[in-house]
């Protein structure tokens, strides 16, 4: 909501939740938005829905299935911030324009938005036989929806690493870190790739990180890209299948610091999701003369 209020072509007009005492709904009312605590059904039955062109769904995977069943027949564009993966995966720096006509687009997961771009960058210069990511987030930034969707997170992120990132095989892991003070989101990408020029590998990753940082300013590399040859007989080769040629083990360490629009900077997992979703909303609105009115 805060990001959208600053936007020139996306105008928030309604915010819907399920908790009447929600601080978010209270703030939305203070900003002059139409609000309701009755979920999607309350929005659909309201006159306010007539003013909505785009719906951002930031609930949970199960809730999105319910919401989409009701929204699908309305013709509204839906940007899904849950790991329900009903619509095609969209990662702005990789395939932003590919699915711009889809009625429902999926933003994968926070870990997916942080790591799929790196795997895609590697795929542009060589073959990625296997990719594995570990997303570590503060437990304070993991609400009920995140905690209920751990399984969906791992499955959806791994699918996106293949479908969008280009990896032949993939695995995703999420860690909820209880440290106090809370830790900033960290992501580690490891990949087994066909050996190629080191400068090309590192350059592709650096260029992609800079591209993501244009809409997620807190997204950055923590170290130089690490590359180690994987000799014949190394057990890591089993992850890539029966590959006999020269191989390299690449490791990329990332950090995502939130913009502190609402939650503190440690909540980079939520910031990268909302920033990516707004970026997709921009594309949807790009060919329209007037601001697009949105509901959350």
141 is annotated as contributing to ligand binding? yes
269 belongs to an annotated ligand binding site: yes
Is residue 14 annotated as involved in ligand binding?
no
Is 148 marked within a binding site?
yes
Asked whether residue 179 is marked as a ligand-binding residue, the answer is no
Whether residue 181 is preceded by a cis peptide bond, meaning omega within 30 degrees of 0, is yes
**Does the annotation list 67 as a binding residue?**
no
Residue 143 annotated as part of some ligand binding site? yes
**Integer CA distances (angstroms), 227 to 143, 248, 249, 252, in order:** 36, 6, 6, 9
Is position 248 annotated as part of the catalytic site?
Answer: no
Cα separation, 97 vs 70, in Å, equals: 26
> What residue spans of 31-124 are helical by DSSP H?
39-44, 61-71, 92-95, 110-123
Query: How many C-beta neighbours within 10 Å does residue 155 have?
Result: 16
C-beta atoms surrounding 220 within 10 Å:
15
Beta bridge partners of 166: none
According to the annotation, is 146 in a ligand binding site?
A: yes
Catalytic residue among 110, 114, 122, 158: 110
Contact yes or no for 50/71 (Cβ under 8 A): no
Compute, in degrees rounded to 10, the torsion defined by CA atoms 186, 187, 190, 191.
Answer: -160
Residue positions forming the annotated binding site for NAD(+): 141-149, 269
Report the binding-site residues. Answer: 141-149, 269
For the annotated catalytic residues, the residue numbers are 110
């Amino acid at each position: 909501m805060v990001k959208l209020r600053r936007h020139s072509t996306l105008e928030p007009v309604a915010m819907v939740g399920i908790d009447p005492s929600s601080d978010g709904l209270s703030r939305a009312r203070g900003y002059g938005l139409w609000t309701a605590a009755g979920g999607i059904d309350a929005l659909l039955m309201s006159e306010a829905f007539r003013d909505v062109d785009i719906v951002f769904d930031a609930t949970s995977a199960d809730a999105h299935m319910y919401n989409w069943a009701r929204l699908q027949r309305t013709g509204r564009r839906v940007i899904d911030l849950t790991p329900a993966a009903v619509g095609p995966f969209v990662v702005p720096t990789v395939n932003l324009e590919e699915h711009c006509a889809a009625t429902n687009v999926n933003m994968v997961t926070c870990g997916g938005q942080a790591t799929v771009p790196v795997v895609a960058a590697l795929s542009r210069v060589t073959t990625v036989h296997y990719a594995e990511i570990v997303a570590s987030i503060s437990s304070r930034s993991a609400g009920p929806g995140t905690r209920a969707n751990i399984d969906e997170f791992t499955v959806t992120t791994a699918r996106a690493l293949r479908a969008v990132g280009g990896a032949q095989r993939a695995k995703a892991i999420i860690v909820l870190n209880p440290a106090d003070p809370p830790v900033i989101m960290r992501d580690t990408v490891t990949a087994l790739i066909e050996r190629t020029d080191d400068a090309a590998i590192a350059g592709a990753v650096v260029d992609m990180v800079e591209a993501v940082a244009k809409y997620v300013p807190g997204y950055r590399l923590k170290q130089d890209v690490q590359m180690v040859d994987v000799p014949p007989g190394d057990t890591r080769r089993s992850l890539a299948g029966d590959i006999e040629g020269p191989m390299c083990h690449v490791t990329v360490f990332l950090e995502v610091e939130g913009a502190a629009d609402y939650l503190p900077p440690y909540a980079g997992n939520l910031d990268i999701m909302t920033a990516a979703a707004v970026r997709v909303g921009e594309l949807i609105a790009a060919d329209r003369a007037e601001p697009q009115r949105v509901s959350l």
